[in-house]
Structure 1
Amino acid sequence: MLECEVSKQITTPLIGPAFPRGPYKFHNREYLNIIYRTDLEVLRKIVPEPLELVEPYVKFEMMAMPDTTGLGSYTECGQAIPVKFNGVEGDYLHMMYLDNEPAIAVGRESSAYPKKLGKPKLFVDSDTLVGTLKYGKLPVATATMGYKHSQLDLKEAYNQIARPNFMLKIIQGYDGKPRICELIRAENTDIKIHGAWTGCARLQLFSHALAPLADLPVLEVVSASHILTDLTLGIPHIVYDYLSKN
């Protein structure tokens, strides 16, 4: 392969790359979102400056993505924390677990999504929408919500999906020192809401050393939503460079 050709590649291995080029479009992406109140002091230790906390809340997200261009079918879940940056409200993505290697690779390499391998599932059990996460063989989270009990305003659903996401991009150099340390912003585009519902919900988190969702304890469930949508993953961009301050 010529030198000029090498520089045009997006990832390794060069033959059989870990993921294809985007854009990454999602059809019938299904969300179970549960917002809960947690310990404010714990949040303060987790959320990096210059992000500002809005409320002592966490959003537990469960997403089933059966039709994703270039990445196929997979399920993902994690925690997002409501924050502000320069007066703009959004969500700081704290941790994410999913069952698709290309989606993990592209999320970490081409953006800054904090993705790790896990075993999430979203399914309907009789009259209940259920989201579960296992890390290895052990349970980490169980979320339940009444299935389509009440309609959710479509504008509210759109606003939930359209909120900016903030993430940390951290890569060390070969000398062990930070090479990249940035705050990244990205947001979904081409959003089309097919349906949205709300209802009663509960969330259980189980302690795990390597999947520590329970470090942000559930003190009170505030709200829940079940949303079906199409969208395109937005292009990330840098909003803050930590190394430029050193």
Structure 2
Amino acid sequence: MLKSDVLKQSTTPLGGPAFPQGPYKFHNREYLNIVYRTDLEALKRIVPEPLEIEEPLVKFEIMYMPDVTGLGCYTESGQVIPVKYNGIQGEYLHAMYVDNHPAIAVGREASAYPKKLGAPRLYTDSDTLVGTLDYGTLRVATATMGYKHQPLDIEKAREEIMKPTFMLKIVPDFDGSLKVCELLQTQITDLTIHGAWTAPARLQLFEHALAPMADLPVLEVVHASHILTDLTLSTPTHVYNYLDEK
């Protein structure tokens, strides 16, 4: 293979890459979002500077994505924390658990999504929307929400999905030092909402050493939403380099 051809590849292995080049378009992407109040001191131990915490809130989310160009079908779950950076209100992606290797690989390599392997599910059980997350064979989270009880204002749903998002990109060098350590920002701008609802919701988090979601305990459920969308992921931008501090 010529050097010029190597430079055209999206990733390794050559001839059978872990993921294709984007853009990545999502059709019928389904969200279960539960915003809850948590312990402020626990948040302070997790949210990295220079991001600022305004309220002790966390969003637990499960997303079922049945049709993604280049990546197929998968489900994802994680915790998102409302933050502010340089006057911009947005969300910090704390942790994401995914059941699809191409989605994990592209999220980590081509962006900074904090993805690792997990087994999330989103399904309807009689009159209840249910989201679960297992890590290995153990349950980490169980979320329940009434199924389509009340319409959610479409503009409010749009605001939920289109908030600026901040992520940490950390890449070690071969000697163990940090080659990359920076804060990235992205924002979904290409979005179509097919429906949005709210209803009573509950969330249980279970202790796990390697999927420590319960380190941000559920004190009170504040808001829940069920949103159906089409969207395209945007390219992230660099906003802060931690290595400049060295």
- The alignment's TM-score, normalised by the length of structure 1, stands at 0.99
Aligned to 1:5: 5
1:102 equivalent to 2:102? Answer: yes
Aligned to 1:22: 22
Q: Aligned to 2:112, what secondary structure does the other structure show?
A: coil
1:189 CA displacement: 2.3
Gaps of 5+ in 2: none
Aligned to 1:218: 218
1:43 CA displacement: 0.4
Q: Aligned to 2:159, what secondary structure does the other structure show?
A: helix
1:244 CA displacement: 1.4
1:8 CA displacement: 2.2
Q: Supply the distance in 1 between the matched residues of 2:88 and 2:24 (Cα, whole angstroms).
A: 25
Code of the aligned partner of 2:46? I
Aligned to 2:154: 154
1:114-133 matched pairs, under 5 angstroms = 114-133=114-133
Aligned to 1:202: 202
| 16-25 or 181-190, which deviates more | 181-190
Aligned to 1:53: 53
Q: Supply the distance in 2 between the matched residues of 1:66 and 1:10 (Cα, whole angstroms).
A: 23
Alpha-carbon RMSD: 0.6
Q: Which 4+ residue blocks in structure 1 deviate beyond 4 angstroms?
A: none
1:169 equivalent to 2:169? Answer: yes
1:25-36 matched pairs, under 5 angstroms = 25-36=25-36
Percentage of matched positions with identical amino acids:
70
Aligned to 2:134: 134
Aligned to 1:92: 92
Aligned to 1:83: 83
Q: Aligned to 1:167, what secondary structure does the other structure show?
A: strand
Q: Supply the distance in 2 between the matched residues of 1:189 and 1:28 (Cα, whole angstroms).
A: 16
Gaps of 5+ in 1: none
Q: Supply the distance in 1 between the matched residues of 2:41 and 2:140 (Cα, whole angstroms).
A: 22
Q: Supply the distance in 1 between the matched residues of 2:54 and 2:30 (Cα, whole angstroms).
A: 26
Q: Supply the distance in 1 between the matched residues of 2:242 and 2:9 (Cα, whole angstroms).
A: 28
- The alignment's TM-score, normalised by the length of structure 2, stands at 0.99
